[in-house]
Amino acid sequence: MASPHGNVHIITSKQEWEAKLFEATTNGKIVVVDFTAAWCGPCKMIAPFYTELSERYAQLLFLKVDVDEMADLTATWEVRAMPTFIFIKDGKQIDKLVGANRPELEKKVINYATTV
């Protein structure tokens, strides 16, 4: 049975975050992070689409971070609105999308999936 999160890894600790970034860097993968919140309506609306993208583009590493549970991480990456999608390569931010913009998110994911 498929996970309701697809290939999205839910990050609940700094250790998990660091392990996933290390894994991505080691494997030459680009990371897509969805900074989200349980109370955020647009976040809930785009979540199934984000999961779908994670299943279609397995060459990328998809993560999800709850801003309320991971406040330090949220501050480190200067996330000010939800949802915010950050694209990371070799531990550094290479792109960012603020808001639940499906066409733009898909365009960026396809772009990075084909440059890996």
Distance between CA 99 and CA 110 in Å, rounded? 18
Instruction: Tell me the catalytic residues.
Output: 40, 43
- Nearest CA among 35, 36, 25 for reference residue 88: 25
Handedness of CA 31, 13, 102, 57 (dihedral sign): positive
